[in-house]
Amino acid sequence: MPEESNSTTKTNTELGILEIQKVLPHRYPFLLVDRIVDLVPMERVVGIKNVTMNEPFFQGHFPGNPIMPGVLILEAMAQTGGFLLLNTENDPSGKLVYFTGINNAKFRKPVVPGDQLRFEVEFLKLKRNICKMKGRAFVEDKMVCEAELTAAVVDKE
Give the tens place of pLDDT for each residue, 7-34: 444 455 799 999 999 999 999 999 999 9
Give the domain ranges of the chain: 17-155
61 classed as catalytic: yes
pLDDT in tens, 117-140: 999 999 999 998 899 999 999 999
Domain made up of 17-155: CATH architecture: Roll (3.10)
Is the pLDDT at 85 greater than 80, yes or no?
yes
Positive or negative: CA dihedral 28, 32, 36, 39 = negative
Set 10, 26, 44, 61: catalytic member: 61
Output the pLDDT for position 90: 86
Q: What percent of the chain has pLDDT over 70?
A: 92
